């Protein structure tokens, strides 16, 4: 895999990701139902993913696949027959997974079911009630303040029935059966950074990698949060055992700095590859240790699996004011930020896919690089050039035990330079690759 894009290609990809987000933004998604199906069908225009259905009631470890939720309409009307809350204006207005309701009530009774954000009086919050039968509406605090005393008619035209949980999966075979996993949640309704930015990025990477020769096999999951990863792991334990490296992808469309949350293992190759890629990217970033709170890395890193899966985001969930509100909208995610995130992800995958161990085939003293045209012709200069330094490090540490990433870290040089120097030395028959199975 040698998949790095030019700045122009990245900019085009950023715009395209933003268009994809805009396309699926209006759909009312949830952890089950037609919203996620419709979203996956749209993604299929770019990636030939398989759509899987796991029936309601299926036991997945300690969890049970819930009833399928669908919604056609929802509103609240005042006594003048005016819709004062309308699902058709924004699907965030309905508490996700609300049970059906159709009746009249006083403002006091209605208030028990209304959710606002008093600190952000113009924003509509996003609320869910997946595992407890409930109903409710979300609205701006300013809109609530305008509601007069009186009788209100409430309608939630939803269904909660036996059906299934839907997820999308795309598998790209490489030379090895060992896998790299990229997973994103696709269960939030009209929210852009938390959810759709990850969906667009994973779809774009899947598309790009489908055109190149890959060392690893790659698996891309578009799943509902929590229950989706639990269902996938419960039904795919054999595949899970092949995952060598993975990332949970979310919140990568805002303009904040990058945050990498390490895997539970803490110093797995994925953790080192991400930190290395960020270090040489010129981007601002922060690295955090694993904690059992967050996205689906919680499931992939549960002790029974303990997979090397971290999470690379920009501003982490819950740490931007727009999180889980109507302000996480199309203006909050920028094509340029999406493009920058794509660049980092591709650098990480390039490190993983090219990382290998080599043997120095001329280990007794240094080979004569000058006669092979690999060393500057004139002696006496104080410093070796960076490429020459990279070759010397690769020759010195290629004892079959040190990977190119080990060497890059120890030499404090970018992986790309170490990789290029290793390729040059291998072309000169000075290095031999250790087969992956022998590592
Ligand atoms: Zn969320």
What is the 324 CA–ligand 1 centroid distance (Å)? 6
Q: How far is the CA of 318 from the centre of ligand 1 (A)?
A: 8
CA of 194 to the centre of ligand 1 (A): 5
Q: How many A from CA of 177 to the centre of ligand 1? A: 32
| CA 278 – ligand 1 centroid, Å | 25
Ligand 1 mean position, distance from CA 127 (Å): 10
Q: C-alpha 218: how far from its chain's center?
A: 14
For the record, the structure tokens of 164 come out as: 């299934």
Six-digit token string for 80: 């003048």
How far apart are the CA of 311 and the centre of ligand 1, in A? 14
Q: How far is the CA of 183 from the centre of ligand 1 (A)?
A: 14
Ligand 1 centroid distance, CA of 107 (Å): 30
Task: Say how many Å lie between the CA of residue 193 and the centre of ligand 1.
Answer: 9
Q: 49 C-alpha to center of ligand 1: Å?
A: 23
* 317 CA distance to ligand 1 middle (Å): 7
- Cβ–Cβ under 8 Å, residues 196 and 18: no
Closest C-alpha among 307, 277, 266 to residue 180: 307
pLDDT per residue as tens, the chain (439 positions): 766 789 999 999 999 999 999 999 999 999 999 999 999 999 999 999 999 999 999 999 999 999 999 999 999 999 999 999 999 999 999 999 999 999 999 999 999 999 999 999 999 999 999 999 999 999 999 999 999 999 999 999 999 999 999 999 999 999 999 999 999 999 999 999 999 999 999 999 999 999 899 999 999 999 999 999 999 999 999 999 999 999 999 999 999 999 999 999 999 999 999 999 999 999 999 999 999 999 999 999 999 999 999 999 999 999 999 999 999 999 999 999 999 999 999 999 999 999 999 999 999 999 999 899 888 766 666 666 899 999 999 999 999 999 999 999 999 999 999 999 999 999 999 999 997 754 4
Query: How far away, in angstroms, is 195 Cα from ligand 1 center?
Result: 7
Whole-number Å distance, alpha carbon 235 to ligand 1 midpoint, is 24
Measured in residues, the chain has a length of 439
| Ligand 1 centroid to residue 189 C-alpha, Å | 10
Report H helices in 175-226: 197-209
| The two structure tokens encoding residue 135 | 């109903």
Across 365-434, the runs of DSSP E, i.e. the strands, are 399-403, 431-433
**Which among 351, 347, 405 is positioned nearest to 5, based on CA atoms?**
347
Contacts of 110 (CB under 8 A, 6+ apart): 76, 152, 154
How far apart, in whole angstroms, are the C-alpha atoms of residue 69 and residue 66?
A: 9
Rounded CA-CA distance 250/170 in Å is 18
Helix (H, G, I), strand (E, B) or coil at 301: coil
- Angle at 80 (CA atoms; ends 77, 85), nearest 5 degrees: 25
Distance 289 CA to ligand 1 centre (A): 20
Q: Tell me the CA–centroid distance for residue 390 and ligand 1, in Å.
A: 43
Distance (angstroms) between ligand 1 centre and the Cα of 146 equals 29
Q: Which two three-digit tokens encode residue 356?
A: 């290998």
Task: Measure the CA angle with vertex 140, ends 134 and 146; round to 5°.
Answer: 105
**DSSP-assigned letters across all residues of 343-369:** HHHHHHHHHHHH--EEEESS-SS---S
Distance 210 CA to ligand 1 centre (A): 29
Ligand 1: distance of its center to the CA of 436 in Å? 38
205 class by beta-carbon count within 10 Å (0-12 exposed, 13-18 middle, 19+ buried) = buried
């Amino acid at each position: 895999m040698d998949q790095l894009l030019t700045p122009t290609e990245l900019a085009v990809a950023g715009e395209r990701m933003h268009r994809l987000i805009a396309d699926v933004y209006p759909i009312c998604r949830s952890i089950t139902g037609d919203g996620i199906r419709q979203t996956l069908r749209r993604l299929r225009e770019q990636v030939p993913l398989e759509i899987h259905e796991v029936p309601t009631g299926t036991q997945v470890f300690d969890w049970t696949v819930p009833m399928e939720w669908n919604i056609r309409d929802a509103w609240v009307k005042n006594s003048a027959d005016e819709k004062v809350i309308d699902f058709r204006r924004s699907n965030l207005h309905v508490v996700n997974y609300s049970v059906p309701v159709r009746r009249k009530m006083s403002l006091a009774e209605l208030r028990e079911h209304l959710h606002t954000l008093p600190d952000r009086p113009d924003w509509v919050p996003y609320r869910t009630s997946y595992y407890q039968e409930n109903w409710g509406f979300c609205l701006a605090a300013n809109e609530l303040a305008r509601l007069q005393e009186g009788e209100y008619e409430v309608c939630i035209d939803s269904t909660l029935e036996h059906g299934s949980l839907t997820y999308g999966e795309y598998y790209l075979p490489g030379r090895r059966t060992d896998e790299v996993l990229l997973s994103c949640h696709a269960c939030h309704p009209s929210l852009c950074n938390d959810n759709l930015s990850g969906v667009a990025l994973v779809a774009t990477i899947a598309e790009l990698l489908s055109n190149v020769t890959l060392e690893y096999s790659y698996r891309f999951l578009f799943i509902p949060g929590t229950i989706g990863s639990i269902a996938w792991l419960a039904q795919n334990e054999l595949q899970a055992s092949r995952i060598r490296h993975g990332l949970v992808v979310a919140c990568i469309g805002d303009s904040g700095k990058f945050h990498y949350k390490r895997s539970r293992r803490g110093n797995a190759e994925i953790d080192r590859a991400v930190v290395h890629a960020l270090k040489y990217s010129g981007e601002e970033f922060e690295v955090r240790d694993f904690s059992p709170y967050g996205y689906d890395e919680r499931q992939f890193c549960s002790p029974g699996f303990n997979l090397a899966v971290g999470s690379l985001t920009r501003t982490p969930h819950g740490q931007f004011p727009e999180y889980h509100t109507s302000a996480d909208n199309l203006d909050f995610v920028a094509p340029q930020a999406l493009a920058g995130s794509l660049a980092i992800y591709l650098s990480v995958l390039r490190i993983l896919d090219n990382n290998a161990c080599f043997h120095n085939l001329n280990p007794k003293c240094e080979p004569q690089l000058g006669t092979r045209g690999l060393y500057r012709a004139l002696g006496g200069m104080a410093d070796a050039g960076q490429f020459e330094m990279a070759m010397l490090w690769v020759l010195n540490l290629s004892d079959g035990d040190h990977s190119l990433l080990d060497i890059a870290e120890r030499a404090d040089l970018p992986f790309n330079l170490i990789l290029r120097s290793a390729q040059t030395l291998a072309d000169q028959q000075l290095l031999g690759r250790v087969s992956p199975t022998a590592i």
